[in-house]
């Protein structure tokens, strides 16, 4: 409490209990200490609040007005504290979340109902965008980030792995054949994803380390879902993220190309501005996402024993 609020609280107790001694007991003070607090309040307001005698205390007109108003103010403060404490125990209010378009549509949107079922007083404001946003400047509580993390002001919690494969349709392989080594990708139609740092230079990891291959092709796009559809249509070889292409691999619409190689390892993170005084609602959603999107993720587990490079569970 501030000094002024403490003075009013002590004054209200004196009037309510009718005694300096009983007010002192309630506040853990001495009766002389309580008397000094009331005197200080009277000096600050330049008005007498109590008429003191050896047998009783009586309120002046100003004292009665302050007592009535003070009781209301203290009650409202107690209510505000109770509401703040309840909010810290039970997540409530609006939480603003940002996520990449494809991942958000496929894997965050399905989590909205179970999240609301768990925290019914929580409202989610979800923005799907592949634009790199500044969480602090734009007032976003948390964001899903895939790949390298660059903003050192943010706290990051790793969620699941993000495997990125080379894929093509069976029809493309029948017409053009499959490359036998990474260098042959330069001779194929490759579908270019412009969100990569170097879209036309694919860095692949294999048993012999990392190789870099220049590529080109007939379709260039900033949306991975579009390139997946182009690959399924037989237009070329694409980088496919397993969170988006698992169903196509299982159905046979896509097959792996150069299965001994993958794009360099990546991961999905949830990031938020600060761990200091982290609100209950942000902590609850971060924990929920970590629980719902563990590593290895469900879409990779579904490929075990069915797609080359995804070994059966032990």
What is the full DSSP assignment across 237-288? BEEEEHHHHHHHHHHTSSEESSTT-EEPPEEEEEEES-STT--HHHHHHHHH
Helix 61-89 to helix 3-17 angle, to the nearest 10 degrees? 110
Residues of the chain with pLDDT > 70, as a percent, come to 94
The string of pLDDT tens digits covering residues 221-249 is 999 999 999 999 999 999 999 999 999 99
Sequence-separated (6 or more) residues with CB below 8 Å from residue 308: 256, 259
* Chain-centroid distance, C-alpha 186: 40
pLDDT in tens, 113-171: 999 999 999 999 999 998 888 898 888 999 999 988 877 788 999 999 999 999 999 99
- Quick one: DSSP state of residue 295? S
Backbone angle region of 273, left / alpha / beta, with phi > 0 → left and psi within -120 to 50 → alpha: alpha
**pLDDT band for position 56 (cuts 50, 70, 90):** confident
Tokens of 134: 């500044």
Residue 22 has pLDDT above 80, yes or no: yes
CA–CA gap between residue 224 and residue 233 (Å, rounded): 14
Position with higher pLDDT, 173 vs 278? 173
Q: Give tens-digit pLDDT for 168-220.
A: 999 999 999 999 999 999 999 999 999 898 999 999 999 889 999 999 999 99
- List, in sequence order, every beta strand (DSSP E) within the chain: 50-52, 57-59, 93-99, 122-128, 142-146, 155-162, 164-168, 192-193, 201-206, 209-214, 220-221, 238-241, 255-256, 262-263, 266-272
d(Cα 58, Cα 87) in Å, to the nearest integer?
41
């Amino acid at each position: 409490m501030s000094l002024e609020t403490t003075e009013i609280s002590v004054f209200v107790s004196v009037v309510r209990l009718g005694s300096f001694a009983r007010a002192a007991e309630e506040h853990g003070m001495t009766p002389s200490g309580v008397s000094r607090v009331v005197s200080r309040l009277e000096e600050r307001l330049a008005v007498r609040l109590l008429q003191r005698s050896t047998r009783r205390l009586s309120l002046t007109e100003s004292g009665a007005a302050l007592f009535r108003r003070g009781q209301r103010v203290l009650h409202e403060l107690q209510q505000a504290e109770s509401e703040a404490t309840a909010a810290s125990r039970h997540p409530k209010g609006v939480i603003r979340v940002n996520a990449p378009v494809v991942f958000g549509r496929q894997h965050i949107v399905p989590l909205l109902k179970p999240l609301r079922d768990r925290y019914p007083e929580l409202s989610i404001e979800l923005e799907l965008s592949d634009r790199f946003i500044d969480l602090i400047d734009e007032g976003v509580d948390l964001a899903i980030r895939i790949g390298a993390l660059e903003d050192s002001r943010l706290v990051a919690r790793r969620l699941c792995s993000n495997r990125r494969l080379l894929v093509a349709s069976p029809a493309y392989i029948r017409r053009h054949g499959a490359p036998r080594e990474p260098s042959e990708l330069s001779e194929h139609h490759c579908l270019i994803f412009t969100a990569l740092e170097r879209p036309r230079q694919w860095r692949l990891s294999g048993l012999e380390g990392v190789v870099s291959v220049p590529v080109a092709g007939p379709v260039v796009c900033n949306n991975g879902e579009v390139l997946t559809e182009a690959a399924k249509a037989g237009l070329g070889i694409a980088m496919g993220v397993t969170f988006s292409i698992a169903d196509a691999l299982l159905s046979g619409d896509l097959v792996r190309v150069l299965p001994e190689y993958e794009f360099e390892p990546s991961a999905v993170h949830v990031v938020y501005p600060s761990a200091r005084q982290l609100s209950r609602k942000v902590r609850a959603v971060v924990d929920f996402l970590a629980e719902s999107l563990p590593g290895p993720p469900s879409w990779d587990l579904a490929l075990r024993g069915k797609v080359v490079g995804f070994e059966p569970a032990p």
